[in-house]
Amino acid sequence: MSSWLDYTINGLIVGNVYALVAVGLALIFGVSRLINFAQGSIYLVGAYIGWVAVVQLHTPLPLTIIVVAVAAAIVGLIIERFGLRPLQNSVRIAPLLATIGISFVLDQLVMLTFSPNPRALPSQLPDVRFQLGGGTIGPLDLLIAGVGLTSALLLFVFLRYSKLGWAVRAASQDRDAAMQMGVDVNRVNQAVFGIAAALGGVSGMLVGMYYNQIDTAMSLQATLKGVVAEVVGGAGNVPGAVIGSLLLGLVESYGVAVFGTSYRNLFAFLLLVVVLVLRPNGLFASARQAPPEPLTGTFIAPSRPVRIPRWALAVAAGGFAVLPLFPVSFYVLQTLINAWLLGMLALSLTLVAGTIGQVSLGHAALLAIGAYTSALLSLTFSVPAGLAIIGGGLMSAALGTALISPSFRLRGHYVSIATLAIGEIVSLVILNWEGVTRGPIGISGIPPLSLFGYDLISPTSIYWFSFAVMVVLALLQGRLLTSHLGRSFRAIRDDDVAARAYGLSLNRYKSLAFIFGGFAAGVSGGIAAHLYSYINHETFNTQQSILALTVVILGGLGNVVGAIVGSVALVGLPEVFRIAAEYRILIYGIVLLLLVRFRPQGLLGTI
């Protein structure tokens, strides 16, 4: 019995921490209908500022909290001013992509400054536990509860009794009406970003103290947990976010009690998917409210695609095809092989995110499904690699589509959250389903690529193989775009309401897009598995998803040629300029931000 009380206390404490993140997300969503994917990065920044304060400056605890809150708030204000305010009048996809880019830049900056190794963050509190009923509670638990309650109280007073707080509430009820009544939306945005960041930063610091460890992987987890809590409570609903957080904390804590620690996140994401599907407006909203996003307005930037004549494409393709006949180094071929593999993933993502407008943040999961399927087919059933890769593509198409299908009713930012969560679920299942995936050990000894009984081992043959597969996929996708499906996909992206009114079933066409895209990504993962000969649950991670997204934005959403050009550019240029690996992700993030701001249609234009 006593342990149950412990689990309850633990759940409520962790829930309290989530609440600090989720309340900020809810405030921001309330006034700007934006899910701030950078919230977890601020939390990360808060944790590391806390570390600097405690370990290097030896600040006393109250001062540490103030330092963290103020520093995090400044980061929040900078994000609002320079990252988001310039995008106020842009298309709806822009702020979404911007917060994703900001989050990557911040995470990488922290990683470069402090190294990715975990650090200890001592809590500065005496290490005693008090008996409470049948369980125990420590001073840190009390501190977290105290900070949670105090912030809730302060926030309540601010929203209820201050003029700015009134403006925040007015703007979240009806932004246009508030503006007409003279509410300064920029000030409101500043206020909510400042508050959200301060809360998020303090939360990161408290979590670091709670586990006495901080590392850069905290960021994504925090964003996900905060978003789960916020969506469970109803996007934009501040009290709902608190309740959603406590609920999430309890669900996780009891889940861990019954099934073990490695299932903690699985419960969180399953809760998210269930809520998104059954009650997309949250547990506390009436099911039939106005849709959470404006019905009108364009999702992507209108543009005219750059027309590249066919002969030019043919010449370029021919050039790359004969390249290995010239004395080029192994290194060049290796780099281009990576570009072709990324190109297949980008083709898939440009179809899903660009052509039909479902901005997927979990696309690497499709790689993983294809890779595992292909590896297991060839290892367990001795299927030749060529066929196994096709099997991987088909499995990725089928399973990927089935997994994402519950979220076909969602729009905009919600799709991104759902795909992010599903991506995490896939990697957690791979980690935990040891009977099939060999769990954390991964799969080794995957046979090399082969075609019609011949092993493809030389870099030249691997180069030709991957290039040919990518070209075939690109040609098929180009053909798809000129068919009635191409226009149907694009119509759904531009205006799903009008599309439905003209008989286009969203389920049917989103499925078809994911089937086609899933196949390309699965094939890419399959080839990668045979090339690497070893894969595990971390081989295909969120960084690849974000890299692919940057490629897609760079090339132009939906643009087939753009996806390939973007892949060659983002794989090749860092090699040409010999940029160290740890700076690359930072550069991808910056590239994404600059594109969103200055050339949202990408290099070759949206199709």
Partner 1 sequence: MAQSLMLSLRGLTRRFGGLTAVDAIDLDLAKGELVSIIGPNGAGKTTLFNLVTGLDRPDDGTVHFEGQDVTGLSPERLAAEGIARTFQLGRVFGNLSVMDNVLIGAHTRLRAVKPAVPVIGPLLELGLALLRPASVKAEEERLREEVKAILARFGERLLPRIDQPAYSLSYANRRRVEIARALALKPRLLLLDEPTAGMNPTETAEMQGLVAELKAEGLTILLIEHKLEMVMRLSDRVIVMDEGKKIAEGPGEQVRGDPKVIEAYLGHGLATERESAA
Residues that bind partner 1 (CB under 8 A): 180, 288, 290, 296, 298, 300, 302-304, 476, 479-480, 483-485, 487-488, 490-491, 493-495, 497-505, 508, 511-512, 515-516, 606-607
SS3 535: strand
Q: How far is the CB of 491 from partner 1 (least distance, A)?
A: 5
Instruction: Rank residues 494 and 575 by Cβ distance to partner 1 and give the closer one.
Output: 494
Contact call for residues 113 and 233 (beta carbons, < 8 A) = no
Q: Taking Cα atoms as reference points, which of 519, 520, 540, 518 lies closest to residue 529?
A: 540
Contact call for residues 151 and 42 (beta carbons, < 8 A) = no
Q: How far is the CB of 273 from partner 1 (least distance, A)?
A: 23
Instruction: Rank residues 58 and 500 by Cβ distance to partner 1 and give the closer one.
Output: 500
Instruction: Give the tokens for residue 340.
Output: 């072709």
Instruction: Rank residues 145 and 398 by Cβ distance to partner 1 and give the closer one.
Output: 398
- Residue 450's DSSP bridge partners are 455
Instruction: Rank residues 225 and 490 by Cβ distance to partner 1 and give the closer one.
Output: 490
Q: How far is the CB of 298 from partner 1 (least distance, A)?
A: 5
Cα of 493 vs its chain's centroid, Å: 20
Give the chain's length.
Answer: 607
For 511, residues 6+ apart whose C-beta sits below 8 A from its C-beta are 401, 405, 408
Q: How far is the CB of 603 from partner 1 (least distance, A)?
A: 17
- d(C-alpha 252, C-alpha 250), whole Å: 5
Q: How far is the CB of 159 from partner 1 (least distance, A)?
A: 21
**Helix (H) or strand (E) run with residue 105 in it:** helix 93-114
Instruction: Rank residues 475 and 573 by Cβ distance to partner 1 and give the closer one.
Output: 475
Radius of gyration for the chain, computed over Cα atoms and rounded to the nearest angstrom:
24
Instruction: Rank residues 25 and 301 by Cβ distance to partner 1 and give the closer one.
Output: 301
- d(C-alpha 484, C-alpha 554), whole Å: 26
Instruction: Rank residues 8 and 405 by Cβ distance to partner 1 and give the closer one.
Output: 405
Contact call for residues 522 and 373 (beta carbons, < 8 A) = yes
- d(C-alpha 354, C-alpha 606), whole Å: 8
SS3 383: coil
Instruction: Rank residues 128 and 501 by Cβ distance to partner 1 and give the closer one.
Output: 501
Instruction: Rank residues 177 and 457 by Cβ distance to partner 1 and give the closer one.
Output: 177
Instruction: Rank residues 250 and 285 by Cβ distance to partner 1 and give the closer one.
Output: 285
Instruction: Give the tokens for residue 120.
Output: 């200890």
- d(C-alpha 226, C-alpha 421), whole Å: 12
Q: How far is the CB of 32 from partner 1 (least distance, A)?
A: 22
Instruction: Rank residues 194 and 393 by Cβ distance to partner 1 and give the closer one.
Output: 393
Q: How far is the CB of 510 from partner 1 (least distance, A)?
A: 11
Instruction: Rank residues 119 and 169 by Cβ distance to partner 1 and give the closer one.
Output: 169
Q: Is 189 left (phi over 0), alpha (psi -120 to 50) or beta?
A: alpha
Q: How far is the CB of 492 from partner 1 (least distance, A)?
A: 9
Instruction: Give the tokens for residue 231.
Output: 């969506």
Q: How far is the CB of 88 from partner 1 (least distance, A)?
A: 20
Instruction: Give the tokens for residue 287.
Output: 């099911």
Q: Taking Cα atoms as reference points, which of 335, 319, 333, 349 lies closest to residue 473?
A: 349
Q: How far is the CB of 481 from partner 1 (least distance, A)?
A: 10
Instruction: Give me the helices (H) in 289-353, please.
Output: 310-322, 330-349
Instruction: Rank residues 300 and 456 by Cβ distance to partner 1 and give the closer one.
Output: 300
Provide the 10 A C-beta neighbour count for residue 19: 30
Q: How far is the CB of 287 from partner 1 (least distance, A)?
A: 11
Instruction: Rank residues 153 and 475 by Cβ distance to partner 1 and give the closer one.
Output: 475
- Residue 461's DSSP bridge partners are none
For β-strands 130-132 and 135-137, DSSP reports them as antiparallel
Q: How far is the CB of 550 from partner 1 (least distance, A)?
A: 21
**Helix (H) or strand (E) run with residue 411 in it:** none
Instruction: Rank residues 338 and 401 by Cβ distance to partner 1 and give the closer one.
Output: 401
Q: How far is the CB of 290 from partner 1 (least distance, A)?
A: 7
Q: Taking Cα atoms as reference points, which of 477, 459, 423 lies closest to residue 338?
A: 459
Provide the 10 A C-beta neighbour count for residue 305: 17
Q: Give residue for tokens 């944790």.
A: 47
Q: How far is the CB of 493 from partner 1 (least distance, A)?
A: 8
Contact call for residues 431 and 439 (beta carbons, < 8 A) = yes
- d(C-alpha 20, C-alpha 145), whole Å: 11
Contact call for residues 45 and 72 (beta carbons, < 8 A) = yes
Q: Angle, to 10 degrees, between the axis of helix 330-349 and the axis of helix 459-481?
A: 20
- d(C-alpha 369, C-alpha 391), whole Å: 10
